[in-house]
Each structure stands twice: as structure tokens, then as C-alpha cells.
Amino acid sequence: MKDIINTIVNNDLLKDLVLSVAVIVAAFIFLRLIKIVSKFFHKKVAARTKNEVDDKIIAIIERTARSGIIIAGIYFFFLSLNSVFGDVFYKYLNSFLYIFLVLAIARMVNSILQVLYLWYSNKAGGELQSKLRDDFGPLLRRLIIIVTYTSAVVTILNHFHQDISSIIVSLGVGSLAIALAAKDTLANMISGFLIITDRPFRINDRIKLESGIIGDVHDIGLRSTKIKTFDNTLVIVPNQQIINEKVTNLSYPNAQIRVAVEVGAAYGSDIDKVKNILVDVCKAHPEVLDFPEPAAYFINFGDSSLDFKVTCRVAKWDRQFPVAEEIRIAIYRAFEENNIEIPFPQHVVHLPDKK
């Protein structure tokens, strides 16, 4: 046995082969240890929590550690064969190991950030968070990837003493050019983010724009807002336009909306009687709310009539026009029953007597 050991010690090739085998055995041992430690943390730490975030993070770290041990094993395996490979080979091997470690760390950081983002976005409930996740989630996830791997590439170039200032300047100039070219798109995206966070209106709200567009909000997108009009058509309005003009939300702070009906009665009609009929018609309608109570007003001396307005409220804004129509029909019938004339425009012409 002693002779064998002496032979190995005195023979560089045999010594390197024994060291390489020892490296392979050590690598397998470390891989086994990593698996045992990972199971321990899964059982003692991750199993106590209700979410799967810690399980996924532990799995990511375990995967990175296993890859690192395998690469380190390969590195020390070749390093142990010192008599076979030259110095140039080890120079390239060291460079390869550094590049791999930096990219592996970048991959681990990116995976952990992605897991944390998905966990937070799924945990956050409500329409706002859901909209932010659906519209801005893919953009944010791509941004995490770009920043993580760009930092890794810059670190690698800096390690090899490469001048990265020109690259940074090029990236800055390129970013500026892209920003100028996509100015309107970026403005719409920022406006969309402000709409989603500030919430001047929500999906299914009925809004009226300063430009005269009236309809129900069908969708709030990253670039534009879609409004469904009464003609069952979609009007696509850029978010920047909406954010810069006055918007009337007919559904806020609640879905109640006022119904106003104007009607004329002939001169000589009993004003109090007309007002009472208008109020009674509104109260008799099943969809008119009891509070605030319906009210009738004598608003004007018209050219051919006494002009009145009756107002009431309904619970849903989408019932404003149907209820207004039904109230007009009921007013017409009530006026007929009470012999109140609804005059039409007329002119009285006096002709001079011919002598």
C-alpha cells in the first residue's frame, strides 16, 4: 500500500488523476448535501407558510447551487489535471467560470423577482390591481429581465477591462431616439396608467366627454379607452386625449341618475293642478325612487304654453331614457283625463278690414 502511495506521489500524471477522481466524488457529495439542506428548509420553513413563494425561492436557489457545484466540479476537475493542460487553457477556463457565475446569479435574481411579482400581483385583489396586472404586468416583467441581464453583461465586460462607456452612451442615445419616435405611444401609456390609478371612471361607467361622446366604458387599455355608444358601436379614444379633456361620469358617485321631463300646458290651465299631476305620475312609476321625492316646477312663459319641468330619480343610469319615455306617455294620458291641453305652436294673424 505504501509503495502505491509513493508511486502516485512521485508520478504527476497519476497524482492528477487521483485528484480529478476526488473532485468528482466531492462534487457528488456536495450535490447530495444541497438536496438534503433543501429538503430541510422545505420541511422546517416553507411548509409552515400558506403560500408557495418560499417553496419556489428555495427551489430556485437549490437549482442555482446545483448548477454552480457542477460547474465548479468541472473547473476543479480540469484544474487537477495540471500536467495535461497548459496555462492558456486555465486562463480561458477562469474566464468561462466567471461568466457562468455572473449569468447564473443574474438568472437567480431574475427568477426570484418574477416569483415575487407574480405572488404580489395575485395577492392584490380588486379591479384596479387586476387591471394593472393585465396591462402593465408583461411590460414590468420584461423590464425586470432587461435590467437584470443588462447589469450582468455590463459586469462581465467591466471584469474583462472592456470600455463600457461607449456602450452606455449608445444605449442612452438609442433610448432617446426610441422615446422621441414613440412619444405619442408613451404619452398614451402614461395616461392609461393615470386613468387606472386615479380612476375617474371604471369599466361599465357611463361617461360624457367634452367632445360630445356619450357611452359606457367598455375597456381601459394600455394605449386607448373603448367607449360603447348607444348605437352599439365602439369609439376608441386615445388615453392622452381623455386625460386632457373634461369627463363627466354619469355613474359616479353612485348609479342613481335624474330623469327630467319638460311639458307645456295651455294658457289658462290651473298651475297647481298641473304640478300635482306631474308629481303623481312620477310617484306612480315603479322605478322612480321615493327619495329624493319627485318635484315639478313652472319654469317659463312660452310663446304658446306654460312650460313645466318634472324631475325624479331612478336607481340605474341605463334606465334614464326608458323611464323618461314612460313618464311622458303617462303625462299625456293624465292630461287627457283631466282636460289639460298641450298646445302646439300657433300664430294669430290679424288682417285689416278693407274699406
- Top CATH class of 193-249 equals mainly beta
7-16 pLDDT, tens digit each: 544 545 555 5
30-86 pLDDT, tens digit each: 767 777 776 666 666 555 666 677 777 777 877 877 777 777 777 776 666 655 565
Extents of the domains making up the chain: 2-174, 193-249, 257-337
Look-up: residue for cell 429538503?
39
Strands (E), the chain: 206-209, 214-220, 224-229, 234-238, 247-249, 257-265, 295-301, 306-314
Cell numbers at 174, concatenated: 438609442
16-26 pLDDT, tens digit each: 555 666 666 67
pLDDT at 152: 85
pLDDT at 8: 45
pLDDT at 192: 79
pLDDT at 35: 72
Average predicted confidence (pLDDT) for the chain: 78
pTM of the predicted model as reported, rounded to 2 decimal places: 0.48
Whether pLDDT at 273 is above 80: yes
CA pair distance 142, 161, nearest whole angstrom: 29
161-178 pLDDT, tens digit each: 776 666 666 666 666 666
Reference 110, options 63, 164, 60, 68; nearest CA is 60
pLDDT at 44: 62
User: What is the separation of C-alpha 145 from the centre of its chain, rounded to a whole number of angstroms?
Assistant: 19
pLDDT at 198: 78
Task: Yes or no: say if 206 and 214 are a contact pair by the CB < 8 Å rule.
Answer: yes
* Mean of pLDDT values over 222-250: 87
Decide which of 62 and 233 is more confident: 233
- Top CATH class of 257-337 equals alpha beta
* Mean of pLDDT values over 205-230: 86
Hey, what long-range contacts does 76-80 have (CB within 8 A, 24 or more apart)?
Answer: 76/23, 76/27, 77/20, 77/23, 77/24, 80/16, 80/19, 80/20, 80/22, 80/23
274-294 pLDDT, tens digit each: 999 999 999 999 999 998 899
* Mean of pLDDT values over 242-249: 88
